[in-house]
Chain A
Amino acid sequence: MRWRSDFWVSGLQYLILGLWGLIVLIPLLNLLMLSLKSLPGIVARPFSLPSTLHFSNYVNAWKLGDLGIYLFNTAWMSVLAVAVVLGLGSLAGYVLGRFDFKGNRFLYLVFLAGLALPIQMIAVPYFGMMEALNLINSPWSLVLLYGASGLSFSVFILTAFARNLPTELEEAAWVEGATPTYVYWRIALPLMRPILASVGLFNFVSAWNGFFFPLILLTSRHNMTITVGILSFIGEHLTEWQYLLPALVISMLPPILVFLIVSRQFIRGLTSGALKI
């Protein structure tokens, strides 16, 4: 449905939309540009295009700044956390959405309640727990945290999705005497793929971007994730801009990349109401 609008109205619409687009885009592109400048250029002329592209900034940040270690830690931690959420979450969502049993509603509400839980609330006991499990200063503590806390939102979404899946294939499978495990793996999981992409994106972003828990749980440099690792470029008296800027650019690329891969399914899923909150 489109409004018949005259030239000026639609021009104004595009103007406002384009303006916000620029407000979003310019700082990001400018950051990219700054990261390729020499240190005097960063400080003296932030707007001008770099005269020569200093890719060496990236090389140096990588070599001198332990960037590779931070990225590696963040990557495996986030991927494992997402795997935990998608694996366990799709199993639980399938059972809760598909089968009627005593306590179904209660368990659903238990998962749902976590949606409203401010995650900092569990910080002190979680710290104590990780101390007891000897996982302080290990990214495994984050895999458990993001894997577990992400289940709340994910089970909520996946249960709703599983509930609305078509039943014909499944009924036929029961007649054939198939086990629920088989039906989950061969019928339900393939049908859930589009929603798994969206749920995976949300969980990847929150694990990759997480800052508060890495800050309190990770202490030594070779175990840090990227968000806390970046802090080491900020000195008490001197900020190493020529290393900080490439680090900022690199650390925001993976979530954007994952978004580009699933963006179609994600936006369609959201606008079609599948991700209704």
Chain B
Amino acid sequence: MRRARRRSLRPRPLSYLWMLIPGLAVYLAFTVYPFLSSLRYSLYNWTGVGALRDFIGLGNYSFIFNPQGFLHPLVRAVLHNVYFFGLSFVLSCLLGFLLAYLLYSVNTRVSAWLQALYFVPYLIPPVVVGYLWSIYLEPGFGAISRALNALGLSWLNLPYLGSSRLALPTVVGISAWAGMGFPVLLFLAAMINIPSEILDAAKIDGAGATTTMTRVIFPMLRSTFVTVVTLTWLSSFLVFDLVYVLEGTQAGPNYATDVFGTLFYRTAWGGFGATATGMGLAAATAVVAFFFIMIIAALMVWLQQRLGRD
């Protein structure tokens, strides 16, 4: 009886479902549909102009997995993405956690100002971040090399962007500089949301700051760590702007900074340093990378749900 009355008060589906249609339609048309059709494009040889005609079946895929063909540059690029992920993970999880913990324990007003300041580089276009640092890291007249020389540290004045050993870590460092604000805020949010009873209980039991951190705060932030790791993983495969600006489309020196984004760009749109070109091949490469990224991301989400439960 009560149920029936309640239902009669609620509006009928048709009166509200129409509000869902415009958003769903735009999303399906311009995100889901292109996503699904990348599977179709990957089966064609297509130069980027006109209709899809030259059907080659799994030809693009067999070229990708051919050791004499595309496998080597693709594996190299993906490994650079994995390296990117590993180093950003260390930087954003360790330094990000440390900064969040310090912000958590200092005066709230100071903390609020610093939170906003730390977030600012995250808002700057990555292209600008790239130019900014390429100006400072210019080996000749750049501010950093001058500062190092002036401080008598000229042995540290290295071609950070020009040596194949240092270029990739330098790009990751620049990316971490720009992105640090986000993990800091995520960690801080999680710390603020720890119930104060738990912290009070720890204090009553005589736990010092270090014990509280390692035994209470750290374990309670496990699922936040997995969130940060997952987001870092996904964003590590989107890297493109910084490498493009700092190292060009050929991702020099000698492909030392070639990531999936730059390889994909060269394959689809050509450009200096392209190994093989073709939009169909690029689409197939994206499909392969997508499954690789997704399988690992799914594992991380699964892990997060397991950790979140207990």
Interface residues of A (CB under 8 A from B): 1-3, 5, 9-10, 13-14, 16-17, 20-21, 23-25, 27-28, 30-31, 34, 43-44, 46-47, 84, 88-89, 91-92, 94-96, 98-99, 101, 107, 110-111, 114, 116-129, 131, 144-145, 147-149, 151-152, 155, 171, 174-175, 179-181, 184, 205, 208-209, 211-212, 215-216, 226-227, 230, 241, 244, 248, 251-252, 255-256, 259, 263, 267, 270-273, 277
Note all chain B residues with C-beta closer than 8 A to A91.
19-20, 22-23
Set of chain B residues within 8 Å of A31, measured between Cβ atoms: 132, 135
The 7 closest A-B pairs by CB, nearest first: A148-B30, A88-B23, A92-B23, A180-B16, A209-B125, A122-B34, A125-B34
B143 and A148: CB pair below 8 A? no
CB atoms of B297 and A255 under 8 A apart: no
Contact B234 A116 (CB under 8 A): yes
Find the residue from B32, B122, B282 having the highest chain A CB count within 10 A: B32
Q: Give CA–CA (A272, B189) in the complex, Å.
A: 7
A127–B294 alpha-carbon span in the complex (Å): 23
Given A180-B15, A277-B227, 18 new contacts (CB under 8 A): A14-B110, A27-B133, A91-B20, A96-B20, A99-B13, A110-B32, A116-B234, A121-B35, A121-B38, A122-B34, A125-B38, A125-B40, A125-B41, A148-B30, A226-B125, A256-B123, A267-B119, A270-B186
User: 16 pairs across A/B with beta carbons < 8 Å?
Assistant: A9-B209, A10-B106, A88-B26, A99-B11, A114-B27, A117-B290, A120-B264, A121-B287, A122-B35, A123-B268, A124-B282, A126-B34, A209-B124, A251-B128, A271-B185, A277-B227
Interfacial chain A residues near B133, Cβ < 8 Å = 27
Query: Distance (Å) between the CB of B138 and the closest chain A CB?
Result: 9
With beta carbons under 8 angstroms apart, the residue of B116, B131, B269 that contacts A263 is B116
Are A124 and B124 closer than 8 Å at their CB atoms?
no
A129 and B34 contact, CB distance less than 8 A: yes
Contact A255 B123 (CB under 8 A): yes
Does B76 interact with chain A (Cβ within 8 Å)?
no
User: How far does the Cβ of A78 sit from chain B's closest Cβ, in whole Å?
Assistant: 11
Which residues in A have their C-beta under 8 angstroms from that of B287? Answer: 121
Give the CA-CA distance A271 to B286 in the complex, in Å. 35
B54 at the A interface (CB under 8 A)? no
Contact between A211 and B241 (Cβ–Cβ < 8 Å)?
yes
Contact yes or no, A123 B264, CB < 8 A: yes
B82 within 8 A of A: no
Which single residue of chain A is at the shortest CB-CB distance from B298?
A: A116
Closest to B294 in A: A116
Q: Are A273 and B189 in contact (CB under 8 A)?
A: yes
Tell me the B112-153 residues at the A interface (CB within 8 Å): 112, 114-128, 131-133, 135-136, 141-143, 146-147
**Cα A212 to Cα B147 with chains together (Å):** 34
Expressed in whole angstroms, the minimum distance between the Cβ of B44 and any Cβ of chain A is 10
- In the bound complex, CA of A117 to CA of B132 (Å): 29
| Complex Cα gap A175–B123 (Å) | 45
Q: A88-B26, A151-B23, A270-B185 are in contact. Are A122 and B199 (CB under 8 A)?
A: no
Q: Provided the pairs A47-B146, A118-B237, A179-B11 are in contact, do residues A248 and B31 lie with their beta carbons within 8 angstroms?
A: no
Complex: chain A residue closest to B124, CB-CB: A252
Report the bound CA distance from A155 to B99 in whole Å: 31
B68 at the interface (CB under 8 A from A): no
User: Known contacts A91-B22, A152-B27: does B261 contact A120 (CB below 8 Å)?
Assistant: yes
CB of B102 within 8 A of CB of A13, answer yes
Q: Which of A28, A44, A119, A180 contacts B11 (CB 8 A)?
A: A180
CB within 8 Å for A181 and B19 given contacts A1-B200, A46-B142, A121-B35: yes
Bound-complex Cα distance A14 to B244 (A): 36
Determine whether the beta carbon of A17 is less than 8 Å from that of B114: yes
Provided the pairs A28-B120, A255-B123 are in contact, do residues A92 and B294 lie with their beta carbons within 8 angstroms?
no
CA distance A1 to B122 in the complex (A): 29
**When A148-B30, A216-B269, A252-B125 are in contact, do A271 and B10 touch as well, CB less than 8 Å?**
no
